[in-house]
Amino acid sequence: MSDDQRKKDSNRGEGKGNETRGSGSVVFVLIAVVCAIVASAFLMGNNTNRIRYPDLERLLREHAETLASSNPTNRPKIETASTQDPAVVVEYSDLQSVLLGDETITGTVMYRKLGTAGKDRSNAENVPKLVKFSTIRVRNDAQDASLNKLLIDSGVQWDNARPNRWLADHWLELMMVAAVILLGVIMLRRIGGMGSPMSFSRSRGKLHGQEDLSISFEDAAGIDEAVEEVREVVDFLKNSEKYQALGGRIPKGVLLVGPPGTGKTLLAKAIAGEAGVPFFSLSGSDFVEMFVGVGAARVRDMFQQAVSRAPCIIFIDELDALGKSRSGSVVGGHDEREQTLNALLVEMDGFDSNSGVIVIAATNRPETLDAALLRPGRFDRHVLVDRPDVAGREAILKVHVRSVRLADDVDLRHIASITSGFVGADLANLVNEAALLAARGDKTSVSTQEFDEAVERVTAGLEKKNRVMNEDEKIRVAYHEAGHALVAAALPNTDPVHKVSIIPRGIAALGYTMQRPESERYLMTKTELESRMKVLLAGTLTEEMIFQDISTGAQNDLERCSEIARSMVMDYGMSRLGRLNFRRSTRSPFLAGGGGNEYQFSYGAETAKMIDKEVARIVEDALTQTREILSQRREVLEAVTQRLLEVEAIDNTELNRLIQQHTGGPWLVPGTVTEKPRAQIRTDETDAQRNASAT
């Protein structure tokens, strides 16, 4: 071990000792608080006035004389010197209650200060107050008999005290002390146990041994490219001498980025499982606490534990909770989050590159991470864990159906083809939903029917069997969905219709037209975007054509159509305003939507008017062409609607049969669709053919 490393370890040890010594002071503070509460409670509880026994007898005689006199309105009172300061004269009057104990007499009486003896009493208290009093009881037969007679003659309410009332008198103080002690015990256990009462600085990382990690790269299906990127990390952990002999340096950190549910955490566990090394897992939010400095101490403790168990892997999930970019403002520049981030930067840049500790982090918001965290030397390698393609989804389904009994008609390739955009977590949920549906139907295996129903559950929501629509609404929804399906089938640049249904699903959907792409798409042409707009507008235009009225059911369709048109103008340069971009997106590439403003605009008021006019023109053109398709294919529209009213749902086979049966001419309506030619690589032969055709 180098001298620098020994120095660092010794500094860490000193820091840990200081933290231990400092934590003891908190225990003393807790004890002091308990003592203060007890002392104040007893002082408050013992705030009673001492009265002499002869004065008590005098006051009882005054009560007896007042009671026996012809003018009972006179207040019984006596004046005497205060027991605390003999120079002060006080007045006792109107005994309220008397409690006779074995050694003391207690009770309540009206009391006020009259001032100093022999001087002016102008500063005397005007209104007497009710106070507790106590006096020492003189015990003999004569005194007891005399006291009992005075009490009876005075008419004062009195009683004999029970032998021991200490617990009854001080139960409130005891409850307060018990509550403080219980609260302290709970806090100590939550932050690290009684043996380490202030172990805030201890890392919350969970250590998984080799026996706990049975996951391998075979379980991380559908992300083959990401697996290949991290294989050499496993090789280094197994054969580090090979790399060190050649002077190579393994990446200190691997950052896994991608949408939620794609398998980032699973890939990290597979790395540890393949390498057979300890695996520390924790979240980025586990470092940050309400106390300043705790997060930085936990980072140091985490790396100290990792170095002692090297080779090992530290996995930090949701790194964006810890590593957000630091603000440039002075205010709040030294908050807890930034101190924790600084500690992480120092630790990742400070530990030996060949120590065998590799940090793997996962995030779906890499654009928010601090630039210093992403530079080489910390997170050297960024691995994209993207959404799987058809082959990847099929491989993921094979992993999740290992423990599921499948029927003979199940085709995983078909299921993968109709689940475009699904990630690993979605597919796992899909398999589980299909198995639950089969069990609910008392079946012995899961068939294609359950998988299709599960796809609809995941994408469209639960079927609302109890939501009964009236006949008018049902007919309107049937025409609406038939219009969507008809236009989608009429246009060549749209995804094929998979199913049309008028059964309510989800939160607000009264019906739906499900389209499924035939292959993975990464680009969209202008014609394809215009076709999508026409399909979205077809529902409300069908209502307008049939009922001469429209409903609120097209709200989501209009919202999506307007967004496509605005994106064509402002983002993609697909308008008469030219190849210009008018806004910059600030949304995460891996998260759909989110709060706040997702765009930054860079244009004036006049340009905004031009943009609005162009968006309206694009939508109006789509409306015109969609009306033409619907009017030309009115017979097919009526047939599809009638069939939906009969069976409530039809698949693509039934839809195509109805179209072929009720179509009398060419399917594409002239003037509504202009299918673009396929792209070709330009060669000398194609140039010669083009010139020949021109001549």
Alpha helices (H) along 46-125:
53-68
What mean pLDDT comes out for the span 412-419? 90
* Whole-number pLDDT of residue 330: 46
pLDDT above 60: residue 667? no
DSSP letters for 184-252: HHHHHHHTT-TTSTTGGGS--PEEE-GGG----TTTSTT-HHHHHHHHHHHHHHH-HHHHHHTT----S
pLDDT above 90: residue 177? no
261 is in an annotated binding site: yes
Looking at every residue in the chain, the average pLDDT score rounds to 79
The pair of structure tokens assigned to 481 is 């969905």
* Whole-number pLDDT of residue 291: 58
DSSP letters for 540-606: HHHHHHHHS---GGGHHHHHHHHHHHHHHHHTS--STT-S---EEE-S-TTS---SS--EEE---HH
Listed in sequence order, the residues at least 6 apart from 331 whose beta carbon sits closer than 8 Å to its beta carbon are: none
* Whole-number pLDDT of residue 2: 44
C-alpha closest to that of 135 among 91, 104, 96: 104
22-31, 308-317, 673-682, range with the lowest pLDDT: 673-682
Tens-digit pLDDT profile for residues 325-383: 776 544 444 577 788 888 888 888 765 555 678 889 999 888 888 888 888 888 888 89
CATH class, range 471-694: mainly alpha
C-alpha closest to that of 374 among 344, 330, 350: 344
The pair of structure tokens assigned to 630 is 């619907």
pLDDT above 90: residue 190? no
Write phi, then psi, for 498 (nearest 5 degrees). -95, -40
pLDDT above 60: residue 565? yes
* Whole-number pLDDT of residue 281: 84
Q: What percent of the chain has pLDDT over 90?
A: 23
153 is in an annotated binding site: no
C-alpha closest to that of 513 among 527, 494, 529, 492: 494
pLDDT above 70: residue 537? yes
User: Residue 276 — left, alpha, or beta (φ > 0 → left; ψ -120 to 50 → alpha)?
Assistant: left
pLDDT above 70: residue 16? no
Q: What percent of the chain has pLDDT over 70?
A: 76
* pLDDT range class, residue 688, cuts 50, 70, 90: low
* pLDDT range class, residue 7, cuts 50, 70, 90: very low
15 is in an annotated binding site: no
Burial 283-297 (b: 16+ CB within 10 A, else e): bbebbbbeeeebbbb
* Residue in this structure with the two tokens 């205010």, named with its chain if needed: 331
Whether a cis peptide bond, with omega within 30° of 0, leads into 311 is yes
* pLDDT range class, residue 589, cuts 50, 70, 90: low
251 is in an annotated binding site: no
User: What is the C-alpha to C-alpha distance for residues 256 and 272, in angstroms, rounded to an integer?
Assistant: 15
pLDDT above 70: residue 570? yes
484 is in an annotated binding site: yes
DSSP letters for 321-355: GT-BPPPS-STTTT-HHHHHHHHHHHHHHHS-TTS
* pLDDT range class, residue 155, cuts 50, 70, 90: confident
* Whole-number pLDDT of residue 686: 52
The pair of structure tokens assigned to 327 is 């603000």
Amino acid at 261: G
Question: What is the total residue count of the chain?
Answer: 695
481 with 513: CB under 8 angstroms? yes
Tens-digit pLDDT profile for residues 540-551: 999 999 999 999
User: What is the C-alpha to C-alpha distance for residues 356 and 311, in angstroms, rounded to an integer?
Assistant: 4
Residue that wins the pLDDT comparison between 239 and 265: 265
* Residue in this structure with the two tokens 């009876």, named with its chain if needed: 152
pLDDT above 90: residue 434? yes
* pLDDT range class, residue 9, cuts 50, 70, 90: very low
* Whole-number pLDDT of residue 265: 87
265 is in an annotated binding site: yes
Is residue 142 helix, strand or coil? helix
The neighbouring-strand residues paired with 311 are none
Listed in sequence order, the residues at least 6 apart from 559 whose beta carbon sits closer than 8 Å to its beta carbon are: none
258 is in an annotated binding site: yes
Please identify which of the residues 274, 481, 530, 543 carries the catalytic annotation.
481
* pLDDT range class, residue 96, cuts 50, 70, 90: confident
What mean pLDDT comes out for the span 304-319? 86
* pLDDT range class, residue 400, cuts 50, 70, 90: very high
The pair of structure tokens assigned to 20 is 């231990």
Listed in sequence order, the residues at least 6 apart from 357 whose beta carbon sits closer than 8 Å to its beta carbon are: 303, 306, 307, 310, 311, 312, 313, 314, 351
Domain edges within the chain = 2-47+171-192, 53-156, 203-384, 390-462, 471-694
Is residue 312 helix, strand or coil? strand
pLDDT above 80: residue 471? yes
481 is catalytic: yes
Which CATH code, of 3.40.50.300, 3.40.50.2000, 3.40.50.920, 3.40.50.1580, is assigned to 203-384?
3.40.50.300
Is residue 277 helix, strand or coil? coil
260 is in an annotated binding site: yes
The dihedral sign for the CA sequence 32, 35, 41, 46: negative
Say which CATH topology domain 390-462 has: Helicase, Ruva Protein; domain 3 (1.10.8)
pTM (whole model) above 0.85: no
